Structure 1
């Protein structure tokens, strides 16, 4: 057997069918695919153009961030954390989003991707809040990451004078154009028909978009029920809770990923499970935003019913999936006083295999196994938080974070080496991002809110 690269002497968390954890292991890849995984002694006969000493490193599959707002990065830290949810969205986040120029959105997206790559994320699903879609897609194309992204899409006519039919027609036409321009044809970055969700899309747009996703083999991702407002709106307008209403519309199914899903009831959870609809949970964002996830969230029940639950980082405050992993393995243990809920190995499945399934990439990414894409991460286990190393899975989730990520490969290309992105000029990007952020905030007219003086 021949390979371009052989990494030998590492510890491997494979996430393969047997969930093997291999000490003194090796991984070989050729082109964009893994060709062999096993004990170093068993792979010693492989002829490789490059041999890397993996001693002192732990290899894992790349993480899949199933929900992230990549164009929010330039307003990181500016939005007050103690305001009501509707005020945060209506008076701060959305106006700030829409105040970005296309160039600013592109830089924000690259900053988010650099942060994800540096902490081990190799694939992500964008949250559907890109406004300058073509400019952002062009900016992220050369970063090396794998992604599915969508433009800001909503069509509900909040203004009675608006042409409701034209709003729906134009929104759907834009989605069709995006899928034609950035098809899901094997390329790393492709467009999906992503909807904002909540109550912003009409029934007609939901149904047409679901049909488009089914016809094209793409997926829909949409926000739903982080707080009780979505359920209250649908009950008032339709007489049913949102998931039940979506079931009546015929839009539930394996093509759909519903994000947040904190304020759902048992009947909604059952509909999600029976339809094969995916759910992405963003525990860090839920806790920071005070959604009431530990009191209301039915994630243990959904998992027990077979719902495929993936994980996401959501907004700009955190792009490190390893921090999300740690929270996922903790918060419901405390909420339910049950230490059996979401142990480390289940949380890790959510961040790898389950996320791959949401993306429609099961069997392609999410595990270290022959035939899978060479998307993987090398964690430096010589750092203090890793020593002594006894149970790699437990320590990955409970002890480590993304600062220990040394190198990352996507499609067999080393996109992070020695803690730095190889395809992104991080210094120039950070300087440009800082200047743009200051300009955005200066022209926003919004105050910098701080309990302590910043002088």
Structure 2
């Protein structure tokens, strides 16, 4: 057998059907596809153009970040963390977001991609809040990452004088154009008809986006019920809770990824499970925002009912999926006083195979197995958190984080080597991002809120 790359002598956490963990293992890939996985001795006869000594590495599949706002990066740390949810969005996040120029959104997205690649994320679903859509698509096209991208899409006419039907037509037409321009045809980065969610989309747009997703084989990702306000609005306007209303519209199903889903009831959880609708939870964002997930969230019940739960990082504060996994493997154990909830291996499944299902790529990514895409992460074992190496899965989730990622391959291309992106000039990008961030904050007129003086 011939291969382009053979990594040998490594510890492998395969996430394959048997969930094998292989000591002194090897993985070989040709082009963009894994062609062999097993013990190093079994793959010794492979003729590879590049052979890498993997004895200092633990290899995993690339992580899937199932919910991330890639164009929020330039306002990282500026939005106060102690304000009410509505004020945070209305006065800070949305105005700052919409004030970005296309060039600023593009740089913000590249910064987010660099941060994800550097910490082992090889695929992501964007949160549906990109304004400069074409510019962002162009900006991340050469980074090597895999993605499903959605534009800022809403159509509810909050102003009574607005032409409600025109808003829906324009929103639907934009989604159609995006999918025609960036189809899901095997390319790494493609468009999805994502919706902002909450209560921002009319019933007509929900139905039209769903029909588009089903016709094109894409998915839809939408925010729902991080706080109780979504449920209160739907109850007041429709007499039903959000997921009940979506079920009545006929838009639930495996194509749909509902994000956050903290303030739902047992009936909504049952509808999600029965319909095959996917759920993405963002533990870090939930804790920082005070959503009350530990008190109200039915994630253990949804998991027990067979719901596919993936993980996301959400906003700009953190792009490290390993930190998110660690939280997922801890929070509900404490809240429910039940150590059996979401152990390390379950959190790792959420960040790999479950994320792949949400992306509609379960037969393509999420595992180190023959025939899968060569999306591989090499974690550096020559670090304190890995010594001694006893239980690779437990230590990956409980002890390590993304700072220990040494190298990353996507589609067989090495996009991170020795902790640096190979396809992104990080120094130039960071300098450009800093200057743009200072310009955005200066023209916003908003104050820097700090308990301590910043001189």
State the TM bucket, normalised to the shorter chain: over 0.9
In 1, Cα distance between equivalents of 2:376 and 2:258: 27
Once the two structures are superposed, the pairs formed by residues 130-149 of structure 1 within 5 Å of their partners are 130-149=130-149
Tell me the residue number matched to 1:10: 10
Q: Secondary structure at the match of 1:223?
A: strand
CA distance in 2, matches of 1:223, 1:448: 28
What's the counterpart of residue 325 of structure 1? Answer: 325
1:4-62 CA distance string (max 9 Å, x none): 11110000000001100000000000000000000000100111111100011000000
1:220 maps to which residue? 220
Does residue 432 of structure 1 match 2:454? no
Aligned to 1:279: 279
Separation in 1, partners of 2:281, 2:159: 32
For residue 167 of structure 1, what is the aligned residue in structure 2?
167
Say what the alpha-carbon RMSD is for the aligned residues: 0.3
Q: Offset of 1:180 from its aligned partner?
A: 0.2
1:219-269 deviation digits (Å, cap 9, x = unpaired):
000000000000000000000000000000000001100000000000000
Distance between the aligned counterparts of 1:382 and 1:406, measured in 2? 10
Work out the CA distance in 2 between the residues paired with 1:185 and 1:121. Answer: 22
Gaps of 5+ in 1: none
Equivalent position SS for 1:71: coil
Which whole-Å deviations, capped at 9, do the CAs of 1:100-138 have from their partners, x for residues lacking one?
000000000000000000000000000000000000000
Question: Do residues 266 (structure 1) and 269 (structure 2) align?
Answer: no
Please, what TM-score do these two structures have when normalized by structure 2? Answer: 1.00
Partner of 1:386: 386
Output the CA distance in 2 between the equivalents of 1:65 and 1:371. Answer: 22
- Aligned to 2:29, the other structure's residue is in SS state strand
Equivalent-residue separation in structure 2 for 1:145 and 1:319 (angstroms): 14
User: What is the 5 A alignment of 1:227-266?
Assistant: 227-266=227-266
SS of the residue 2:42 aligns to:
coil
- 1:449 match: secondary structure: coil
Aligned counterparts of 1:131 and 1:332: Cα–Cα separation in 2: 35
2:413 aligned with 1:410, yes or no?
Answer: no
* Whole-Å separation in 1 of the counterparts to 2:83 and 2:381: 40
**Aligned position for 1:451:** 451
CA distance, structure 1, for counterparts of residue 150 and residue 245 of structure 2: 24
Matched residues in 1 for 2:37 and 2:377: separation? 14
Q: 2:349 maps to which residue? A: 349
- Whether 1:55 aligns to 2:93 is no
Q: Aligned to 2:252, what secondary structure does the other structure show?
A: coil
2:295 aligned partner: 295
Task: Please name the residue that 1:77 is paired with.
Answer: 77
Match of 1:46 in 2: 46
The answer for the alignment partner of 1:153 in structure 2 is 153
Moved over 6 A (4+): none
Whole-Å separation in 1 of the counterparts to 2:18 and 2:199: 42
What are the Cα deviations for residues 346-378 of structure 1, in whole angstroms up to 9, with x where unaligned? 000000000000000001000000000000100
Rounded Cα–Cα distance in structure 1 between residues aligned with 2:161 and 2:282: 37
Which whole-Å CA distance do the structure 2 matches of 1:137 and 1:261 have between them?
A: 28
Take 1:120 and 1:272, find their aligned partners in 2: how far apart are those partners? 30
The CA deviation string for residues 358-402 of structure 1, in whole angstroms up to 9 with x for no partner, is 000001000000000000100001100110000000000000000
Q: Which residue of 1 aligns with 2:363?
A: 363
The alignment covers a number of residue pairs equal to 455
> Separation in 1 of the partners of 2:445 and 2:166?
32
CA distance in 1, matches of 2:220, 2:26: 37
Task: Give the whole-Å Cα distance in 1 for the aligned partners of 2:249 and 2:10.
Answer: 50
Secondary structure at 1:42 match in 2: helix
In 1, distance between residues paired with 2:208 and 2:433?
38
SS at match of 1:196: coil
Question: 1:334 offset after TM fit, Å?
Answer: 0.2
The alpha-carbon deviation at position 140 of structure 1 amounts to 0.4
Kindly provide the CA deviation profile for residues 263-292 of structure 1, in whole angstroms up to 9, marking residues without a partner as x.
000000000000000000000000000000
The residue that corresponds to 1:207 in the other structure is 207
Per the alignment, in what secondary structure is the counterpart of residue 124 of structure 1?
A: strand
TM-fit CA distance, 1:328: 0.2
